Amino acid sequence: MARFCVCLASGTGPADGRPGPADLHLAAMGAPPVAPGLALVRDEPGHAQGPFDAHGMRAVGEVTLHNRAELRAALTADGAPAPQDAADGELLLRCWARLGAQGIALAEGMFALAVLDGDDLVLIRDHVGARTLFYARAADAWAAATSLRALRRWPALDTRMNLSAVRSFLTFAYLPGDETLLEGVREVLPGRVLRLAADGTVTETVHWEPRERLDGPPGGSDDHVLTLRALLEEATARRLPDAEAVGVLLSGGIDSSLVTALAAKLHSHPVHTYSISFGDELPNELGYSGLVAAHCHTRHRVLTVSGTAVAARLADTAALLDSPVGDPLTVPNLMLAEAVAGDGLRTVLNGEGGDPVFGGPKNLPMLVQEMHAGTPGAAGSPWYEDRATAYLRSYRKCWTDLPQLLTADALSALEPAPPPQRFVEPYLTGPDRMTHLLNQLLHCNLRTKGAHHILTKVERLTASQGLQGRAPLFDRRVVDHAFATPPALKLRGTAEKWVLKEAVRDLLPATVVDRPKSGMRVPVQQWLSGPLRELGGDLLLGRAARRRGLFRPDTVRTWMRGEGTLLPRQGGKLWLVLTLELWLRAYDL
């Protein structure tokens, strides 16, 4: 399996048979054409399929569908035949050709599809963003790929570093929107269809976006709980592999625990669970993950990850990602994927999605800020800060440190660039925002961190090992139900994710369901002062970093000594800078 890259030029070969613009671009990308203006480049691990032909269109894609029967029924509703043995990519292409955006909205799964439709290139990304899709225009041609590394092989593409994206990464610890670290390259947003015309015009269609639906038929909390339970079972069942064992990444928190319990209940084949340990001397959730594994009768493994292993694997792991992710669990996540693949499994479930969909503790700083600020009109209050700015501050990354971290030249170059608040303002202050603050925050979390950090990280790291990583809690129907659930049932007093916990209370020990979220303590500061100390210094203060001119060496030295005003979070912020430096080097920027 491989990732794909396609190129669409504005012209065709001349009558004398010499290569035309399309042929030249395809040859330069190192792949034979599979259609005029369409190439499939097999250069990275992935799930590429195609080409597919239907209704006069041709497509390539990375497509995994979980509701094939439903889609076939929609295609045959008017009596027209639909092939029973069509690959997932062909089935999705037929949905687009016959039903348009409505047909894509019906699909449930992980997909990125590039369609050659006449002179246009149509790019389609799944509802929540489980698969990525990037595009760029140069030399009067369009190119698109599911990975930046494949796309940047296009000689016409200028691969200069995008300084605005650097600021966004340091603010969020990931890139929250359509910008990438390659100038001129954009990412297709989840739930969108882009039509790229030969004249350079881009037309966007939304095939799905979460909506706040609180005006439905009246029902008590039991109705919401029972409906959610049914949806969770359906979402998990759809993601279980046929006739083979499945893995689950089990941290011991409620989200991964409920996915484990549902998999054990619904799957007729063995369920393997995998947990991480950073050593017995650190606080961890191994007691809870072990309790869940025993309760659900899974085949359980605990993988011990040392700082030395993280230091040795960090550069290679950063290079696997299309955008850097400032999550210190990235290397441990890759090592877990290797363990799952080593056991011969091909599908691994995870509990990602519970916090951004049902309301985890990351929303509490914003809720407290709102209580103190009063209404947005109370700008004179000393507690007041507009929601978008408060949201950036709540991340507690490097946003407030940028004046001391970035060089004067970098700060000056950023002055005309739009501020990073633009990525969250549509959800928090825009005219189409949801009514309730909690739903605004969840919508923002889903569309930024969910699509551009959580899902993409999982997909890239699992795919590198030949696995499919699947997230039942990001199921489209589960998300729709979450936004049709009254906010008071998601955050009930001080009980976070109340409706989610109640939906699975009978499946898990009360100790697991009722305990507050604690999270896994990752020893970042210990790594940076130990196995990563010398490497970090060489990278961040070395010749390549100085030549790039992004960071002030005196600030980096202060952070590496553990000094300054950053305590106790200087480790996490230094980790962001180190992760970014490694990624930039991997992409020769």
Query: pLDDT class for 19, splitting at 50, 70, 90?
Result: very low
Torsions phi, psi for 450 (to 5 deg):
-60, -50
437 is in an annotated binding site: no
pLDDT over threshold 80, residue 6: no
124 is in an annotated binding site: no
CATH of 5-206, one of 3.40.190.10, 3.40.50.720, 3.40.50.170, 3.60.20.10: 3.60.20.10
249 is in an annotated binding site: yes
CA angle at 254 for the pair 252 and 257, rounded to the nearest 5°: 60
Torsions phi, psi for 436 (to 5 deg):
-90, 140
- Residue 137: its H or E element: strand 134-138
pLDDT over threshold 90, residue 540: yes
Query: pLDDT class for 447, splitting at 50, 70, 90?
Result: very high
User: In terms of pLDDT, which residue wins out, 17 or 373?
Assistant: 373
Contact 443, 483 (CB under 8 A): yes
Query: pLDDT class for 393, splitting at 50, 70, 90?
Result: confident
User: In terms of pLDDT, which residue wins out, 284 or 583?
Assistant: 583
Q: What is the pTM of this model?
A: 0.90
User: In terms of pLDDT, which residue wins out, 31 or 199?
Assistant: 199
In terms of Cα–Cα distance, which of 306, 278, 335, 323 is closest to 582? 323
pLDDT over threshold 80, residue 290: yes
**Would you state the structure tokens that stand for residue 31, as one six-digit string?**
């792949």
- In the numeric block, the tokens 């009246």 are attached to 218
In terms of Cα–Cα distance, which of 586, 148, 556, 508 is closest to 296? 508
Q: Which of 44-53, 177-186, 467-476 is the least confident region?
A: 44-53
Query: pLDDT class for 90, splitting at 50, 70, 90?
Result: very high
Residues in the chain: 589
CA angle at 234 for the pair 228 and 235, rounded to the nearest 5°: 85
User: In terms of pLDDT, which residue wins out, 378 or 346?
Assistant: 346
The predicted pLDDT at position 35 comes to 41
Residues 6+ apart with CB under 8 A from 40: 4, 5, 6, 31, 34, 48, 50, 51, 60
Instruction: Check residue 189 and report its DSSP letter.
Output: P
Give the CA count within 13 Å in the CB-facing half-sphere of 71.
31
CATH for 221-357+454-514? Answer: 3.40.50.620
pLDDT over threshold 50, residue 32: no
Contact 525, 533 (CB under 8 A): no
DSSP helix, strand, coil percent of the chain (3-state; round to 5): 45, 15, 40
Residue 552 burial (CB < 10 Å; 0-12/13-18/19+)? middle
pLDDT over threshold 60, residue 382: no
Share of the chain above pLDDT 70, in %: 85
Helix (H, G, I), strand (E, B) or coil at 277: strand
Residue 220 falls in which region: left (phi positive, over 0), alpha (psi -120 to 50) or beta: beta
CA angle at 291 for the pair 290 and 297, rounded to the nearest 5°: 85
Query: pLDDT class for 45, splitting at 50, 70, 90?
Result: low
pLDDT over threshold 80, residue 40: no
The predicted pLDDT at position 47 comes to 65
The predicted pLDDT at position 65 comes to 96
Contact 465, 346 (CB under 8 A): no
Query: pLDDT class for 367, splitting at 50, 70, 90?
Result: low
Residues 6+ apart with CB under 8 A from 272: 245, 246, 247, 248, 298, 299, 300, 301, 340, 343, 345
Q: What is the mean pLDDT of residues 69-94?
A: 87
Q: What is the mean pLDDT of residues 34-54?
A: 59
Q: What is the mean pLDDT of residues 205-234?
A: 89
Question: What is the secondary structure of 227-266 as a DSSP string?
Answer: HHHHHHHHHHHHHSPTTS-EEEE--SSHHHHHHHHHHHHH
pLDDT over threshold 80, residue 11: no
User: Rg (Cα) of the chain, in Å, rounded?
Assistant: 24
The predicted pLDDT at position 373 comes to 61
| First-to-last C-alpha distance (Å) of the chain | 28
**Would you state the structure tokens that stand for residue 382, as one six-digit string?**
């000393």
Query: pLDDT class for 444, splitting at 50, 70, 90?
Result: very high
Query: pLDDT class for 395, splitting at 50, 70, 90?
Result: confident
**pLDDT tens, 472-504?**
999 999 999 999 999 999 988 878 899 999 999
Per-domain residue ranges of the chain: 5-206, 221-357+454-514, 401-413+523-586
Beta bridge partners of 68: none
- In the numeric block, the tokens 């010499």 are attached to 18
Dihedral over Cα of 415, 417, 420, 425: its sign: positive
How far is it, in rounded angstroms, from Cα 253 to Cα 258? 9
Alpha-carbon distances, residue 22 vs 35, 195, 257, 336 (angstroms): 10, 18, 51, 42
- Taking all residues of the chain, what is their mean pLDDT, rounded to a whole number? 86
Instruction: Check residue 450 and report its DSSP letter.
Output: I
Contact 263, 291 (CB under 8 A): no
Could you tell me where the beta strands, DSSP code E, fall in 418-533? 468-470, 491-492, 495-496
pLDDT over threshold 80, residue 20: no
